[in-house]
Amino acid sequence: MTSTLQRTPEEIRDRHAENLGRQVGAGIFNPRQLLTSFPDALRKFDPRYQLRNPVMFVVWAGSLLVTVFAVSDPSVFTVAVAVWLWFTVLFANLAEAVAEGRGKAQADSLRRTKKDAVARRLTEDGSEECVPGTDLRIGDLVVVEAGEVIPGDGDVVEGIATVDESAITGESAPVIRESGGDRSAVTGGTTVLSDRIVVQITTKPGETFVDRMIALVEGAERQKTPNEIALTILLSTLTIIFLLAVVALQPFAIYSGGEQSVVVLTALLVCLIPTTIGALLSAIGIAGMDRLVQRNVLATSGKAVEAAGDIDTLLLDKTGTITWGNRRATEFIAANGSDERRLVEAVRLSSLADGTPEGRSIVELCAEKYGLPAVPTEHEKTGEFVPFTAQTRMSGIDLGGRSIRKGAASGFQTSDEVRAIVDRISEDGGTPLVVAENDEVLGVIRLSDVVKPGMKERFAELRAMGIRTVMVTGDNPLTAKAIAAEAGVDDFLAEAKPEDKMALIRKEQEGGRLVAMTGDGTNDAPALAQADVGVAMNTGTSAAKEAGNMVDLDSDPTKLIEIVEIGKQLLITRGALTTFSVANDLAKYFAILPAMFAAIYPALDRLNIMHLATPQSAILSAVIFNALVIVALIPLALKGVRYRPSSASALLRRNLLIYGLGGVVTPFAGIWLIDLLVRLIPGIG
């Protein structure tokens, strides 16, 4: 097996191109999807399924009724109306089937990543036993070495390794997973590329992260969101109103001597009710979650996607989210008249046996900048390493009568000069470590928690959307203030404990604001659960991923900007197509009503502004347009209306101008063009 680390740059590039092509292909509407989804669309003709959508159920019932008349008393007009009413139902089914089909294709792709692994489970006496991965239970400890597949979701409790997660994230570059941190979670089905780790299983068989992804992207149990439910109620109410209006129309027509056929009344009803948005409503919701999956974000509910579109406040965990998380040594500052070379040598000795990321970075800086060896000599190996403890808040080494320590400034007797250096580093957003030899302070190490590139620009985009950003960190206020200024966030919460994060979220929510939060640690889990939108990093702990209602598989905190845009896009798309659907009914009035009553009231012929040939051609043209417009709008429903950061009033004006005016003009042109063809049919024109 060729590991990710062994791939050539060309292979990695090709893999990225393949993943990109798969994602882009999933995001663009392909006409072939209509053909592949056709069988599913036919299955949706089941009346039990149609009952879920009141608007389309009325169309289904009307199609059945007209079909009965077409069979009992056939005519070209009646048969044509029946056929196109069934096409209207078919196209509505097709819109939803295409949206669901893309999710099923992604689910099939995920199923191919699942592997039935054999697990090396640790027994109570420390020995190993080989068992099928399906036999693992929560709490089991399994050993995974280089080249082996991780048999189930869990947390690394021992060791450190590189892991290939490309099957899940699509990212070819390996990731580091290690015990004791916020990057300890591993996903079943991924492959260990190097070293050895012990994983504690945290999920039951069949309930792994990949299993949940498959169930969610298939959308079989997708529940309607509150906004979607409200819009469904509105559309149902409009349908009932138009149904009563059409039923009441017949007595007036009979009184006037112009009784209308059931076929004509049914065609009028179908054209009056909001069939366009009724047919596309479910597809819009499914496509919103689908667009998240394309961007490697897993949402546990459509409600979370909608909530993302209305977010007012965004809380971001600093470590691993705004910053890289691993503090690195960037500078050694001598003090109290100490020689810089002596400081650097002491710093190196104190860190040779320090396996933390900070300790390793200190040794690396000594080697890169000062040319000191990165490995200890035989003499240095005889020293006694003093590990860091919470009580002493320092670590170091005892070697040949030398006692070298590094740690927090509070653990040393410091001069005014050293305190000034410590304060300056803290104000700049760094972490100071004081270094002393035999109780003589030699200087200070500057550790920098580096802000990820591009963060300031991304936060500026959020500000343009009207979203307030708050950085949450356990750092002291001086350090937090400096990093907040460098990153460009609007506010910060320093020295934050889990209960402080919860209190801040509740305070925002009590003010009527929707709150989103990103995080990756176990200490973030309560806040992720409380937030309206909780986005957990895939590199984070299992607790964080369970608490959130979204998981970012790329572990990119700036991805939340895209999540917000997708949420807003979903709401805007639904509003735009609703506006279009209601507006295009206007043209149908001008097509059908004059055709129905012009013979009785000649003055109504003035409303026939499209100069349609005959009453039959006018009614049939409106029914055909009503069906075809659904197919024409499927790509827009799946792709979504483009979102541009702007105010609500500007969005409303744009919506009314493009989709309101477009919804009025398009049907006039469409029905007129269809009528030119329909009038050529014998018995119609």
In 3D space, the residue among 471, 514, 515 whose CA is nearest the CA of residue 490 turns out to be 471
What is d(CA 159, CA 503) in angstroms, rounded to the nearest whole number? Answer: 36
Does 115 count as an annotated binding residue? Answer: no
What is d(CA 25, CA 16) in angstroms, rounded to the nearest whole number? Answer: 14
**Which residues, 6+ apart, have CB-to-CB distance to 403 below 8 Å?**
396, 437, 438, 439
Question: Is residue 317 among the annotated active site residues?
Answer: yes
Does 358 count as an annotated binding residue? Answer: yes
As given in the structure block, the two tokens for residue 388 are 């860091």
Q: What spatial distance separates the first Cα and last Cα of the chain, rounded to whole Å?
A: 70
What is d(CA 11, CA 173) in angstroms, rounded to the nearest whole number? Answer: 11
In 3D space, the residue among 174, 210, 173, 172 whose CA is nearest the CA of residue 193 turns out to be 174
Cα-to-chain-centroid distance, residue 71: 50
Please report where in the chains the tokens 């290690």 appear, as a residue. Answer: 178
Three-state SS for 433? strand
Does 520 count as an annotated binding residue? Answer: yes
Does 406 count as an annotated binding residue? Answer: yes
In 3D space, the residue among 595, 617, 630 whose CA is nearest the CA of residue 684 turns out to be 617
Give per-residue burial for 203-222: e unless 16+ CB within 10 Å, then b: bebeebbbbbbbebbbbeeb
What is d(CA 265, CA 243) in angstroms, rounded to the nearest whole number? Answer: 10
Find the farthest-apart pair of alpha carbons in the chain and give their distance in angstroms, rounded. 117
- Please answer whether residues 148 and 162 qualify as being in contact, where contact means their C-beta atoms are separated by less than 8 angstroms: no
DSSP 256-268: TT-PPPHHHHHHH
Does 390 count as an annotated binding residue? Answer: yes
As given in the structure block, the two tokens for residue 681 are 């049919």
Does 392 count as an annotated binding residue? Answer: yes
- Please answer whether residues 309 and 397 qualify as being in contact, where contact means their C-beta atoms are separated by less than 8 angstroms: no
In 3D space, the residue among 575, 576, 604, 579 whose CA is nearest the CA of residue 592 turns out to be 604
Does 319 count as an annotated binding residue? Answer: no
DSSP 195-223: SEEEEEE-S-TT-SHHHHHHHHHHTTTPP
Catalytic residue (one of 153, 317, 552, 556): 317
Please enumerate, by residue number, every residue annotated as part of a binding site.
354, 358, 388-395, 406, 520, 524
Please enumerate, by residue number, every residue annotated as part of a binding site for ATP.
354, 358, 388-395, 406
Residues with active-site annotation: 317
Please enumerate, by residue number, every residue annotated as part of a binding site for Mg(2+).
520, 524
